[in-house]
Amino acid sequence: MTGSPPQDSFVKLAMKNMVRKGRTSLLHMALTTTGLVAVLLLLASLDRPSL
């Protein structure tokens, strides 16, 4: 095990990738966030009690 270089953590690799890809990465993050909020709102409206 001695002599091998330390591996970058997943977070470091993800940050490097985000910086390298730039706009595409931001677009994907925005679409994911929008989709998640839409699903949560849909579930909240379906589970709403009727008065």
**Which pLDDT band holds residue 4 (cuts at 50, 70, 90)?**
low
Q: How many CA atoms lie within 13 A of 24 on its CB side?
A: 4
pTM of the predicted model as reported, rounded to 2 decimal places: 0.55
Q: What is the pLDDT of residue 29?
A: 86
pLDDT greater than 90 at residue 8: no
pLDDT greater than 80 at residue 6: no
What pLDDT, in 10s, does the model give residues 13-40? 878 887 888 788 788 889 999 999 999 9
Q: How many CA atoms lie within 13 A of 51 on its CB side?
A: 0
